[in-house]
Amino acid sequence: MFNKDELDKFYRYAISLSKNGDLAYDLLQSAIERYLRKAGDSIGNPNAYLRMVIRNLFIDHQRRNKIVPMISIENNEILDSELHLIEPIDDRFMDDILMDQQEIELLTKSLAPDESELLYLWAVEEYSTSEIAVITKQPKGTVLSKLHRLKIRIRQQVSETTLSINET
């Protein structure tokens, strides 16, 4: 049904949300249980279904534990008329930002789950912004806006880190 590579992929997606290996495994396990219960109802796209269940379970988990909401507080609304002002998000987007693994670790920890999920879907799964918009149930403009804001923030974060290293 799902091979190891696919299971790993779901596990990593769950990690992008939860940033915790144990919780990610629990989410995956429960998502599979739900999938098996639903399997009789002819699920059109099992991968998409499983990813959606992981996402919903994570949101439930946050609500239950009264953790800050999954959505970052920044206003990411963007008007369709402003879309052309945003640079295209292609393979080279954010290529000018160079990071080592330790910096990446700090970065992923500092992001809100929705931001972390967005970066994961874009960078690791290599989904287009339109696909991410469908997966995360947001307008495409919001996805574009979020990615651009993230780029600015990450660049700022990197330059601050570099500055503090140089100062020391």
Partner 1 sequence: MSQDKQPLKQALKNHYFNWSLTDEQVQQLQLKLDANAESEINTNETKEQPIFSRSKYLWLSSMAASLMIFFILFGKPQSPELVTYAYSDIKKDAIFHNGLDKTISEWLGVKNIPPFPKGFNIEMSKFCQLKQHPATHIRVAGITQGTAHFFFHQTNSDLTPKMSRGFENDMNWRVIKLHEDLSVLVIYSQDMREQAIQHILDGMLPEINV
CA–CA dist 36, 83 (Å, integer): 41
We find the least distance from the C-beta atom of residue 81 to partner 1, in angstroms, to be 29
We find the least distance from the C-beta atom of residue 42 to partner 1, in angstroms, to be 12
- The answer to whether the beta carbons of residues 79 and 141 sit under 8 Å apart is yes
161 interacts with partner 1 by CB under 8 A: no
CA atoms within 13 A on the CB side of 124: 15
Joined together, the tokens standing for residue 126 give 């290599």
- Per the rule left: phi > 0, alpha: psi between -120 and 50, beta: everything else, 42 is left
We find the least distance from the C-beta atom of residue 30 to partner 1, in angstroms, to be 5
- The answer to whether the beta carbons of residues 70 and 112 sit under 8 Å apart is yes
Among 70, 78, 94, 118, binds partner 1 (CB under 8 A): 94
We find the least distance from the C-beta atom of residue 163 to partner 1, in angstroms, to be 16
Q: In the complex, which residues of this chain contact partner 1 (CB under 8 A)?
A: 1-2, 4, 7-8, 11-12, 15-16, 21-26, 28-30, 32-33, 36-37, 39-40, 57, 60-61, 64-65, 91, 93-105, 108, 119-120, 122-124, 154
